[in-house]
Amino acid sequence: MKTKLLFLTLLISYLGFSQTPISSYYSVDGSGYAVVTSTPAIDQTATGNQTWNFTNLTANGATIDSYAAPTSGELTTYPGTTSVWIVTDNAMETNKIFTKDVSNTVSYTGVERTDLVLNYSDNALIGTFPMSYNATSSDAVAGSFTYTTFSGTFTGTIVTTADAYGTLNMNDVGDGAYTGSVTRLKIVQTLTLTVPFVGSVPASQTSYNYYDNANGHLVFRTNNLKVDLLSVNETIMESFLPNSLGTNNNVLSANQIKIVPNIVENTLNIYAKNDTVIRSVIVTDMNGRTVLNVEGNTTSFAVNQLKSGLYFATIATENGSIIQKFIKK
């Protein structure tokens, strides 16, 4: 009996440490994502230890994540904001998530999309990171909103749970297939919108974020917005593109070679620090196909012939090479 009890104790101890805490709510600055759809639709209802096979994904666009400090105007609109999470798509539209991060306790202060603005009068708590499996936080929320031509106030709740962990498998959507151990974060906002001349309108926003346990990268995310009265039920899914973060060889760093800006319309400009000599630039699309090959020491060349989308430029220099991403407008 003692042997069995010891075995059970060790097993419980192992299971308690087999789930890796989510180190950070945020993606890595500069992360690129393919905007994807799936047929059949993926099922995210199950919790606990899971194997997710998202292997029927099709890429339909791309986004890049970046971060910035809030402007003075944004601080006035969203008090307490410490960071602005900016998601830019290949149509040049931007979504912004305004957050307050104090000692790794993260809260929403505002959200801006092309069709939706949420301004939280009281910060909406997401949670404290690192966040372990089964950790849950909840908070009351209130504020004002604008959705297309509608505006008013809202109240409700936000509930965050690290609700699942396991193995995630994804097919290649332009940067290689993915298989990894992940932990999932689920965030549900249940809101009541008060619209003048309309009344109370139920709404919900549900997101799932899957974080790689080995490096903390946000490798897959979905977001669903539902407003029944307005016939809104939309889901956006995005799959991480690993090469979007850049790969350094030799002693070359991202501070020495940059594409400025990384949203390009007609001409791609490369900033080379300390007169670094460029030997070649190879541009590939999300499917790994070479679409441009420029030889010689050049820091500027035309890309107006490229279709809109996310691209990767492999820049070879006398000191090594680096991969930089850019969006062609």
CA 171 to chain CA centroid, Å, is: 18
DSSP E strand stretches across 103-149: 105-112, 116-128, 136-147
What's the pTM value of the predicted model, to 2 decimals? 0.78
Transcribe 9-53 into DSSP letters.
HHHHHHHHHSSPPB--SSPPTT-EEEEEEESSPP-----EEEEEE
Distance CA 329, CA 327 (A): 6
Residue ranges of the alpha helices (H) in the chain?
A: 2-17, 72-77
Q: Which of 49, 24, 54 is nearest to 36 (CA)?
A: 54
Output the tens digit of pLDDT for each of the chain's 329 residues: 444 444 443 333 344 445 799 999 999 888 888 899 999 999 999 999 999 999 999 988 888 888 889 999 999 999 999 999 999 876 667 899 999 999 999 999 999 998 899 999 989 999 999 999 999 999 999 999 998 888 999 999 999 999 999 999 999 987 789 999 999 999 999 999 998 988 999 999 999 999 999 999 999 999 999 998 878 899 999 999 886 665 444 444 556 788 877 788 899 999 887 778 888 898 988 767 889 999 888 889 999 999 888 888 888 887 777 778 888 88
Distance CA 328, CA 81 (A): 30
Transcribe 244-266 into DSSP letters.
GG--B-TT--TTTEEESSSEESS
If you search the block for the tokens 């039920």, which residue do you land on?
233
CA 169 to chain CA centroid, Å, is: 18
Distance CA 239, CA 170 (A): 8
Distance CA 48, CA 183 (A): 10
